[in-house]
Amino acid sequence: MDVKLIVGLEIHVHLATNTKMFCGCRLGYDDPPNTNVCPVCLGMPGSLPVINKQAYIHSVRTALALNCSITKFTKWDRKSYYYPDLPKNYQISQYDLPMSEHGYMDIPLGDGKTKRIRILRAHLEEDAGKNLHEGLGHSQVDLNRAGSPLLEIVTEPDLNSAEECRILAMELQKLVQFIGASHGDMQKGHMRFEPNINLHITEGNNTYKTPICEVKNLNSFRAVEGAVAYEEWRHLEEWKMDHDFVMEKQDKQNRGWDDVKKETVFQRGKEEAHDYRYFPDPDLVPVVIDGVWLEEIKSTMGELPAAMKERFISDYGLNDYDAMVLTGDKATATFFDDAVKAGAKAKIVTNIVTQYGLSIANEKQVALDQIGVSSAQVADLAKLIDDGTINSSAAKTIFEKMLTEDGDPKSIAEKHNLIQVSDTSALEGILDQVLADNQKAVEDFRAGGKKAPKSRGFLLGQVMQKSKGQANPKVVGDLLDAKLNG
């Protein structure tokens, strides 16, 4: 028996605009309930929607980053359904003429390879409001989110594991944040994921396809991976118990994810397109994007994370892991790039950024460029390490001092007596004293054998201790070897 998991992913991305999709209401995710509403997003009779141009530009930029073709003419459609958080009883969306289609995204796999996931379409629509149920004996409706600009990205069913689904979700978050199309804050609901899942089971000469189910409104990468993995297990168990558990004999389902029990639960039968009674919205004009406007949008794209990662590997000689970490967000990638372009060695800057900078940024919950240290300062710090002026432990201290003190790294190093001693005449006195005080270690080294490396390391450590860590270990090592072998 051969079992193949088939998953297509729908991703809903809140776009980083100041106002809603078809009205001037402010987008404030933390504002008191039902304070950012108006007759348009409340669906009042006679109110007329107006398209948010910036939302459309964000959508085009995202579609271009996903290698989609941009539709030059697209219209708006009404998708009719009733739900308490949808005041108009329909959602303005794009049905048969989406603003983009037929793209792809390459995702990294655990074995170092990449996999191409095809993008069926990306279309623009408005979001519904939010229903609140938890801890209440009743439901509440907050319409602040109703009418928010929402980009729906739909993949082809090219995903074949729960891990691939999680990776794609993470890569999409990084992409939309990198190009500034969305804040991508999962806790605020800026991104939601809905996998469509079934199995293709081959037994002998027969292939069985289990019914497609869609898990709704997943808002974390862990939930995406967990829900897909659970459904993979559930489908196989259902089919083993009943070989009629196939799409020809079973209806599609919408299911929800129970994050406590780590299992999906049935919600309702899945709707088909005809259930929504799509028809063109009579209140909105179509969008026509000409070549000039499209080129103008393309000019604002900048370098995408995948291209920047490859450049860091090819131009700066970084390994795949370091390049991946440094391109995890645009602020970090730009900070690193600027420091290297200022003349510092890439590997040294990598160590400073990943070992000191990102740790502090995570602790403060801010971007790297907001911790209080500039890329120019990091470049200067890296140069001090490279030319032997300071050692790595001093570099850490200097970096931390730069957060609160004015001045360049060298002046801070001098102020706190962190300059590395490389003067041979100054070091020889310390070294001669160490050799005189540790004759047994000297004899063990000169005797050779297994004790020699350990004895050398001990003597080197004694010099560093007596110099209070300021001696240049390379210079000390050269002097030590000359005296021991002389």
- Quick check: is 224 in a domain? yes
Report the interhelical angle of 439-447 vs 451-466 (nearest 10°).
150
* pLDDT band at residue 452 under the 50/70/90 scheme: confident
Q: What is the model's pTM?
A: 0.84
d(CA 186, CA 460) in angstroms, rounded, equals: 51
Residues 356 and 451 in one domain: no
* Percent of the chain surpassing pLDDT 90: 73
Residues 260 and 367 in one domain: no
Residue-range definition of the domain harbouring residue 103: 2-291
Residues 286 and 316 in one domain: no
Q: Note the pLDDT of residue 26.
A: 96
Q: What is the CATH number of the domain that holds 463?
A: 1.10.10.410
Residues 241 and 326 in one domain: no
Q: Note the pLDDT of residue 353.
A: 96
Does 58 have pLDDT greater than 70?
A: yes
- Quick check: is 298 in a domain? no
User: Cβ atoms within 10 A of the Cβ of 262, count?
Assistant: 13
Q: Annotate 53-67 with b (16+ C-beta within 10 A) or e (fewer).
A: eebbbbbbbbbbbbe
Does 470 have pLDDT greater than 80?
A: no
Number of structural domains found in the chain: 3
d(CA 212, CA 206) in angstroms, rounded, equals: 19
- Quick check: is 236 in a domain? yes
Structure tokens at 98: 């989406």
Residues 187-209, mean pLDDT to the nearest whole number? 94
Q: Note the pLDDT of residue 278.
A: 93
Residues 50 and 99 in one domain: yes
Does 421 have pLDDT greater than 70?
A: no
Residues 257 and 335 in one domain: no
- Quick check: is 296 in a domain? no
Residues 165 and 259 in one domain: yes
- Quick check: is 337 in a domain? yes
Does 6 have pLDDT greater than 80?
A: yes
> Of 374, 393, 415, which closes a domain?
415
User: Cβ atoms within 10 A of the Cβ of 51, count?
Assistant: 16
Report the interhelical angle of 473-484 vs 439-447 (nearest 10°).
70
Q: Note the pLDDT of residue 486.
A: 66
Residues 327 and 375 in one domain: yes
Residues 262 and 390 in one domain: no
* Percent of the chain surpassing pLDDT 70: 98
- Quick check: is 300 in a domain? no
Does 450 have pLDDT greater than 90?
A: no
Output the CA–CA distances (angstroms, integers) from residue 221 to 152, 166, 173, 191, 197, in the order listed.
17, 6, 10, 10, 16
- The tens digit of pLDDT for each residue in 253-267 reads 999 999 999 999 999
Q: Annotate 285-309 with b (16+ C-beta within 10 A) or e (fewer).
A: eebebeeeeeeebeeeeebbbbebb
Residues 320 and 233 in one domain: no
Between 154 and 465, residue with greater pLDDT: 154
Output the CA–CA distances (angstroms, integers) from residue 16 to 150, 180, 185, 280, 338, in the order listed.
10, 7, 11, 26, 26
* pLDDT band at residue 422 under the 50/70/90 scheme: low
Residues 94 and 114 in one domain: yes
- Quick check: is 216 in a domain? yes
* pLDDT band at residue 423 under the 50/70/90 scheme: low
Q: Note the pLDDT of residue 477.
A: 74
- The tens digit of pLDDT for each residue in 372-412 reads 999 999 999 999 999 888 888 889 999 999 999 988 999 99
Residues 437 and 404 in one domain: no
> Of 415, 434, 459, which closes a domain?
415
- Quick check: is 231 in a domain? yes
Q: Note the pLDDT of residue 393.
A: 80
> Of 368, 386, 415, which closes a domain?
415
- The tens digit of pLDDT for each residue in 102-143 reads 999 999 998 778 999 999 999 999 999 988 877 778 889 999
